[in-house]
């Protein structure tokens, strides 16, 4: 039987419809798979760090303070540094980030090129240092090219011609010493290791670190000072000022409102073609590289904090001078009347220097003003002192500049106290300035308290040098207050992770931080911190194995502290140890000052008249308040700055396969997350630049690693996280952070040994 045409057509239609539906389904399945794979690829790509290169930039102190007119005296010279690490970040889930060394960059003519944003010079309009004449070589005149205060300040430090700025094998007697400033002149606007303030290249420190030598307090024994740790990029001792280029036409026109404490140190990965073969990169020879991933310049910045102390508020007023010392008034009027463009601030700076020297002469029998004639109105534009400027370290030992020998007081026959101890104990005695909680306001009053905005409204001292009253923590500015995470009231909300506190940290949490204003300077810088350090006899820093008090319960810890130092602190309460207070000047009740009376520990007591108060092993530790693994490295690598069987300083510690603590956390006093409404917008901006999610820090894993949806690196397995219990580390991310802090080996932290 023959099938009709309509039937054939219908069958054909059904077949075609069937094939069409199948095709559509296949296309739909293919599309779903394609879009799914594409989405996964995009998701994975989104979790790759946004830049192929990342540079962490910081300074090894949270704040440096120095005067800018050094024509009469200098307590602390200009000395800011740029420290950096460069990381080639992960390019995918299975790729590890790599910390780049000199070998990685040098083979390709690459350098880390640095400058300070809007701050490229110092001497002249912004500083009086090189133009202050000093007879550096002692030939009886000041006509030699390097006869300046800048060259005189560091001449007790030296290196060896055979291996500059590195360790030398002992004995060194046959080697050629080169003294800084004397044999190795410091060019204007350069640091003592020869680095320019801006437009230079960072040096890689290698297995030694950057080393200068000094002598111990016997005046003979040579000892190295490691100024920058091993395996790091650095430019040290730069004479940075707190004033932007062009903000002052003449130094006498300086105004306090122009101070900008949170300077930006900018570091770029660049190609260098040394066209003139002089070994010094010039702007015209350097081209900044473009990041392959972001297509932006490989340029990052860090905070380089520099401020001016507030000496003039007391010493250019009756507060410090009373009716007895009056020369400051004549000095002030000389500058105001002689040079009409002189600001009140600059005249006060000059006057305060004369006040300091007059009071010192009266109290200690010195003759700093023997040649000073306050009534001589002819005057020079630099100094009226009639002698070279006073360098405090000529008599006082001071670790911060490597001066380990102090002189003997001719009247008493005793060693003159270290500069830090002398200044702090003296001011705590005469101007303890208790606030409403009896915390000394002198820390915030003396140390810089300026804001990047230039506003002076939150300075704790009025124009006459008196504390304005209230809670000192409400004066949010300068080194620490309203800045660092420890004084940031919003830290718990912003940080989002646990604090992992020991008994001391818990006490501070309950008795200080509970007030909602953060901690104060004396919650870290106290006698308890010194005693905890003295009691350590460790063989493993990461787990605090060995002899230590740090893991004890509070009653046992307090009992142990009271027994130390032959029972010197037997009557101390927990508050005296961890939140010391002051009272009026005449009461003598001053637990804050105890830290400066505490006996230095060995070996400092034997070889260093500066003690262990500053740039030294006895400074506060993370481990004072935090449990392992959130503690420093073992010491003994950077003597005399740290010691064997003790914890090192945070600034000399690394974890996470060689990443320094400061690379992720920023420097002490300015640690992430800084307060968003505080004095320091630069550090906040830096953290948001480094973190892909624009958070305020510390650095998250995603800055360098390819991470999963919880922010944990894809390389991290559950087995690696297993040692960290959920009860202490409630999220996978917190466990990953703990893991990063435990990833330490000697070679990873310090590089190959010498």
Region 236-246: mean pLDDT is 97
Q: Greater confidence, 748 or 508?
A: 508
Find residue 537's DSSP bridge partners: 547
Q: Residue 19 — pLDDT band, cuts 50, 70, 90?
A: low
For the cut 50, the answer to whether the pLDDT of residue 40 exceeds it is: no
| Buried-state track 40-54, b at ≥16 Cβ within 10 A, e below 16 | eeeeeeebbbebbbb
H runs (alpha helix) in 367-484: 419-430, 442-446
Highest mean pLDDT among 170-174, 362-366, 601-605: 362-366
Residue 542 class from Cβ within 10 Å (0-12 exposed, 13-18 middle, 19+ buried)? middle
For the cut 90, the answer to whether the pLDDT of residue 102 exceeds it is: yes
Find residue 299's DSSP bridge partners: 268
| pLDDT tens sequence across 365-382 | 999 999 999 999 987 888
CA distance 754 to 751: 9
Identify the pLDDT of residue 6: 46
Identify the pLDDT of residue 21: 59
SS3 536: coil
Q: Greater confidence, 268 or 107?
A: 268
CA distance 232 to 73: 34
Question: Measuring CA to CA, which residue among 526, 431, 437, 441 is closest to residue 481?
Answer: 441
Region 468-487: mean pLDDT is 92
The full set of domain ranges for the chain reads 1-46, 53-309, 312-395, 423-750
Region 546-554: mean pLDDT is 97
Region 160-172: mean pLDDT is 89
Region 58-64: mean pLDDT is 89
CA distance 529 to 531: 6
Residue 170 class from Cβ within 10 Å (0-12 exposed, 13-18 middle, 19+ buried)? exposed
Q: Residue 693 — pLDDT band, cuts 50, 70, 90?
A: very high
Region 244-258: mean pLDDT is 97
Identify the pLDDT of residue 44: 44
Identify the pLDDT of residue 18: 53
Q: Greater confidence, 107 or 690?
A: 690
Find residue 305's DSSP bridge partners: 262
For the cut 70, the answer to whether the pLDDT of residue 9 exceeds it is: no
Q: Please give the DSSP secondary-structure letter assigned to residue 626.
A: B
Rg (CA), the chain: 30
Identify the pLDDT of residue 491: 86
Residues above pLDDT 90, as percent of the chain: 79
- What are all long-range contacts of 646-653, with beta carbons under 8 Å and residues at least 24 apart? 646/533, 646/536, 646/538, 646/617, 647/533, 647/536, 647/538, 647/541, 647/621, 647/623, 648/541, 648/617, 649/617, 649/619, 649/621, 650/621, 650/622, 651/60, 651/61, 651/229, 652/226, 652/229, 653/749
Identify the pLDDT of residue 589: 67
At residue 306, what are phi and psi to the nearest 5 degrees? -145, 130
DSSP code string of 143-206: -STT-BHHHHTTTT-EEETTSTTS--PSP-TTS-EEEBTTTB---TTB-TTS-BSSSEEPEE-T
Identify the pLDDT of residue 616: 80
> Which of 25-29, 31-35, 101-105, 178-182 is least confident?
31-35
For the cut 70, the answer to whether the pLDDT of residue 666 exceeds it is: yes
Which are the contacts of 304, defined by CB distance < 8 A and separation ≥ 6?
Answer: 59, 80, 81, 82, 116, 240, 263, 264, 265
For the cut 90, the answer to whether the pLDDT of residue 455 exceeds it is: yes
| pLDDT tens sequence across 614-652 | 778 889 999 999 999 999 999 988 888 889 999 999 999
| pLDDT tens sequence across 283-316 | 999 999 999 999 999 999 999 999 999 999 999 9
Q: What is the mean pLDDT of the chain?
A: 91
CA distance 730 to 81: 38
Q: Greater confidence, 42 or 98?
A: 98
Question: Measuring CA to CA, which residue among 53, 492, 446, 82 is closest to residue 270?
Answer: 53
Which are the contacts of 544, defined by CB distance < 8 A and separation ≥ 6?
Answer: 538, 550, 551, 623, 628, 631
Please give the torsion angle defined by the CA atoms of residues 271, 274, 275 and 280, in that order, rounded to the nearest 10 degrees. 120
Identify the pLDDT of residue 46: 57
DSSP code string of 195-232: -BSSSEEPEE-TTT-EEEEEE-TTS--EEEEEEE-SS-
pTM: 0.92
Distance set, CA 558 to CA 161, 525, 573 (Å): 51, 17, 8
| pLDDT tens sequence across 103-129 | 999 888 999 999 999 999 999 999 999
């Amino acid at each position: 039987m023959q099938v009709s045409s309509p039937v054939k057509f219908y069958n054909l239609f059904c077949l075609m419809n069937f094939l069409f539906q199948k095709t559509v389904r296949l296309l739909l399945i293919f599309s779903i798979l394609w879009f799914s794979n594409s989405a996964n690829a995009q998701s994975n790509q989104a979790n790759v760090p946004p830049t192929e290169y990342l540079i962490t930039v910081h300074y090894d102190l949270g704040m440096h303070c120095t005067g800018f007119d050094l024509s009469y005296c200098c307590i602390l010279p200009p000395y800011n540094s740029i420290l950096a690490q460069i990381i080639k970040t992960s390019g995918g889930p299975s790729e590890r980030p790599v910390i780049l060394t000199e070998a990685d960059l040098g083979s390709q003519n690459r350098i880390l090129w640095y400058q300070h944003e809007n701050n490229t010079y110092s001497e002249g309009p912004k500083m009086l240092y090189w133009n202050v004449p000093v007879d550096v070589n002692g030939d009886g005149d000041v006509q030699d090219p390097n006869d300046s205060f800048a060259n005189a300040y560091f001449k007790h430090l030296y290196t060896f011609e055979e291996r500059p700025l590195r360790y030398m094998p002992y004995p060194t007697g046959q080697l050629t010493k080169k003294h800084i400033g004397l044999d190795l002149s410091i060019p204007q606007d350069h640091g003592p290791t020869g680095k320019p303030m801006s437009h230079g290249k960072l040096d890689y420190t290698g297995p030694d670190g950057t080393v200068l030598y000094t002598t111990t307090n016997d005046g003979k024994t040579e000892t190295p000072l490691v100024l920058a740790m091993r395996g790091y990029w650095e430019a040290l001792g730069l004479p940075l000022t707190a004033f932007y280029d062009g903000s002052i036409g003449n130094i006498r026109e300086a105004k306090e409102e122009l101070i900008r404490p949170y300077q930006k140190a900018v570091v770029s990965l660049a190609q260098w073609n040394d066209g003139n073969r002089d070994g010094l990169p010039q702007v015209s020879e350097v081209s900044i590289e473009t990041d392959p991933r972001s297509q932006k310049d490989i340029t990052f910045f860090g905070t380089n904090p520099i401020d001016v102390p507030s000496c003039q508020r007391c010493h250019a007023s009756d507060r410090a001078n009373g009716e007895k010392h009056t020369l400051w008034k004549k000095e002030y009027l000389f500058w105001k009347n002689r040079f009409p463009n002189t600001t009140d601030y600059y005249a006060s700076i000059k006057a305060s220097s004369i006040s300091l020297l007059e009071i010192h002469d009266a109290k200690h029998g010195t003759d700093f003003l023997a040649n000073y004639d306050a009534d001589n109105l002819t005057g020079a534009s630099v100094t009226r002192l009639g002698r070279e400027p006073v360098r405090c370290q000529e008599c006082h030992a001071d670790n911060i500049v490597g001066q380990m020998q102090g002189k003997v007081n001719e009247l008493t026959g005793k060693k003159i106290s270290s500069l830090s101890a002398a200044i702090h104990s003296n001011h705590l005695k005469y101007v303890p300035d208790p606030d409403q909680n009896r915390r000394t306001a002198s820390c915030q009053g003396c140390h810089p308290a300026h804001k990047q905005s230039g506003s002076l409204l939150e300075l704790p001292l009025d124009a006459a040098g008196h504390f304005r009253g209230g809670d000192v923590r409400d004066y949010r500015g300068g080194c620490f207050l309203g800045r660092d995470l420890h004084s940031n009231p919003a830290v718990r909300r912003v940080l989002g992770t646990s604090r992992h506190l020991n008994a001391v940290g818990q006490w501070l949490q309950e008795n200080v931080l509970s007030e909602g204003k953060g901690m104060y300077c004396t919650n870290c810088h106290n006698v308890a911190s010194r005693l905890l350090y003295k009691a350590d006899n460790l063989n493993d820093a990461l787990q605090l194995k060995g002899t230590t008090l740090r893991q004890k319960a509070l009653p046992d810890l307090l009992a142990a502290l009271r027994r130390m130092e032959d029972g010197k602190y037997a009557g101390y309460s927990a508050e005296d140890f961890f939140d010391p207070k002051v009272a009026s000047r005449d009461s003598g009740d001053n637990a804050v000052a105890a830290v400066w009376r505490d006996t230095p520990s060995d070996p400092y007591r034997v070889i260093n008249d500066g003690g262990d108060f500053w740039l030294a092993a006895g400074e506060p530790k993370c481990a004072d308040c935090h449990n392992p693994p959130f503690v420093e490295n073992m010491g003994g690598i950077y003597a005399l700055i740290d010691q064997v069987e003790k914890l090192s300083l945070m600034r000399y510690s690394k974890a996470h396969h060689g990443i320094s603590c400061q690379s992720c956390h920023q420097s002490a006093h300015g640690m992430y997350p800084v307060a968003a409404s505080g004095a320091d917008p630069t550090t906040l901006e830096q953290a948001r630049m480094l973190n892909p999610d624009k958070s305020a820090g510390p650095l998250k894993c995603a800055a360098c690693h390819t991470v999963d949806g919880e922010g944990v690196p894809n390389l991290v397995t559950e087995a690696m996280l297993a040692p960290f219990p959920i009860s202490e580390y409630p999220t996978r991310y917190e466990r990953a952070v703990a893991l990063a802090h435990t990833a330490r080996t000697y070679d990873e932290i310090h590089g190959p040994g010498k």
